[in-house]
Structure 1
């Protein structure tokens, strides 16, 4: 049973999250030749204040 962990910044719509889950599941099934019921996808949304780029939070990095 493959488990795919995805970390993204917060702010995507529920529809986009569902689309990612569906698309990732499809790729795993095609690539590994497995049934979709065996695939698990975990998406963790991180606040922009908790994600760093170059020593700055994403919220500060975007405003520099």
Structure 2
């Protein structure tokens, strides 16, 4: 039973997430010959304030870019 887990920063539309699920599902079925009924896809959406890179959250990074544009 294949399981695909994806973590994204929140903010995408339900339609975009649904498209991602559909495409991942089909990719697994086609690439490994899995039974479609057995493919599991989990999408986790994380707030930008809970995702960091280089000791800076994505929310902080976005705020810094907004501040730079105002200068």
Report the more deviating stretch, 54-63 or 21-30. Answer: 54-63
Instruction: From the CA coordinates, give the structure whose radius of gyration is larger.
Output: 2
What is the rounded CA distance, in whole Å, between the counterparts of 1:61 and 1:35 in structure 2?
42
Matches within 5 A, 1:30-41: 30-41=30-41
Number of residue pairs matched by the alignment:
64
TM-score by length of 2: 0.85
Matches within 5 A, 1:10-49: 10-49=10-49
Deviations 1:18-62 (A, max 9, x none): 000000000000000122111000000000000001101101112
Q: Which of the pair is proportionally richer in helix?
A: 2
TM-score by length of 1: 0.94
Structure 1: segments with no counterpart, 5+ residues: none
